[in-house]
Every structure is written in C-alpha cells, then in structure tokens.
Amino acid sequence: MKRWTVFSLVVVFILGMTGCGGGGAKSGPESARGPDLAPEAAKEVVKKEPDWYKKPPSETGYQYAKGEATSASKQGARRKAINSLINDFQLKTKSITEGRSEDFFEELSQGDASDAISKYEQIQTVIWNGVVQNWEEVASETVVEQSTKDGKKSYIYRTYVLGRINLFAADERLLEQIKRDKELMTQLKATKALDKMREDLDKYKDKFGM
C-alpha cells in the first residue's frame, strides 16, 4: 500500500512539473509586447515592393540609394527607412572612395604614399559625409500590413524610400578642397587621378548644364 502511495505522489509531482513547464513556455512569447514587425514571408513582401524600389534608376551624375523598414508607427517606419537609406549611401560612397584611392596610390612612390593616403581619404570622407546628409528624396511609399501575434491582429507600417546625391557637387567640392593642400595637389598632378576627376566634372557639366 505504501508503495502505491509513493508511486501516486511521484506521478502527481511529475504531472505538476509538466503543467508548470508548459505554462512557463507560453508566458515568454505572450509577455512580449508590440506587433510582429516581420509578419509576412519574404516572397510576399518582395511582391509588394514598388517598381521604382525594385529597380532604382541609373543616371549619369547621380548616385542612388534606397531604404526599407517597418514600425508600429508611420513616423517610426519612415525614420528607420531613412537610416537604412543613409547606410546604403555610405556603403556606396565608401566604394567610390576606395576605388579612387587605389588608383591614385598605385602611381605614387612608396615614400610619398603614407601621408598622401591619410590626407586624401580624410578629405573624401568629409566631403562625402556632407553630400550624403543633403541627399534628395526621389520617391517614397508607406503601406499598411496586417500582423498577427499570439492570435491577436494588429497593423504595422512598412516604408520604402529612394534617394539620390549629386556626384558633380561632390567632385567639385573635393577638387576645391584638394587645391587648398598644395602638397597633395602636386602629388595628384603627377598621377592620372586628377585628370580622371576633371574628366568626370566635364561630363557632369554637360549633364547639369554648367
């Protein structure tokens, strides 16, 4: 009889622990507040992307970038999308800077390279940061999506933003800044980098009617 009593108590204890475990597992997700900001499958989201976002234009004299984000508020979605767009700009301008720097420094003598690299990259970084902060909005769109979390329906906002920066303005400022550093200007003249920059400026002048 005692054996059955002990066995019964063990079974009750195990069942009790299992019940507590199940309740604990549910409390985690249910306790998280706010809607699901990624409610749809990736394929469904892509289908709803605006055409101008899927295939941004390619235009001489401009660098385009785009950003996308979701939020429980319309303002929040736009703010996050703009941050994403600026990050895209920064990656693209960094690629331009690195490409030009590589072409420039390959023609420099090893002794002159160290100081020139530091100056040239610093000037380009300052110029590009200023240009990116003054980006121009080309298009934007905010859509409302249904979100279901823990059986409860709610709505979130998804914002798409497309912007561009003026490459002519960036190169013009870059050249003006370089001219102020006589040593760096002398080094640039000894390479093809300066001629390439001036060729780009002439090309942009035709584009912008300068």
Residue 110 has pLDDT above 60, yes or no: no
The 3-class SS string of 83-107 reads HHHHHHHHHHHHHHHHHHHHHHHHC
* pLDDT, tens digit (0-9, with 9 covering 90-100), for 44-101: 666 789 999 999 999 988 999 999 999 999 999 999 999 999 999 999 998 888 877 7
Looking at the DSSP bridge assignments, the partners of residue 157 are: 71, 144
- Residue 101 domain-assigned? yes
Task: Classify residue 204: in a domain, yes or no.
Answer: no
Instruction: Give the pLDDT of residue 169.
Output: 87
pLDDT at 52: 96
**pLDDT digits 0-9 by tens, 112-136:** 566 777 788 888 888 999 999 999 9
Residue 42 maps to a domain: yes
pLDDT tens readout for residues 136-188: 999 999 999 987 777 788 889 999 999 999 988 888 888 888 888 888 887 77
pLDDT greater than 90 at residue 207: no
Residue 57 within any structural domain of the chain: yes
- CA distances (Å), origin 44, targets 38, 41, 47, 48, 162: 11, 5, 5, 7, 20
Number of domains in the chain: 1
Q: How far apart are CA 165 and CA 58, in angstroms?
A: 12
Asked if the structure places residue 117 within a domain, the reply is yes
Q: Supply the range of the domain harboring residue 59.
A: 36-197
15 is a domain residue: no
List, in sequence order, every residue forming a beta bridge with 154; answer none if it has no partner.
Answer: 147
Residue 29, in any domain of the structure: no
Look at residue 206 in the predicted model and tell me its pLDDT: 64
Pairwise pLDDT comparison (59 vs 18), residue with the higher score: 59
Q: Is the pLDDT of residue 30 over 50?
A: no
- Any domain includes 23: no
- Looking at per-residue pLDDT, the higher value among 82 and 28 belongs to 82
pLDDT grade for 23, boundaries at 50, 70 and 90: very low
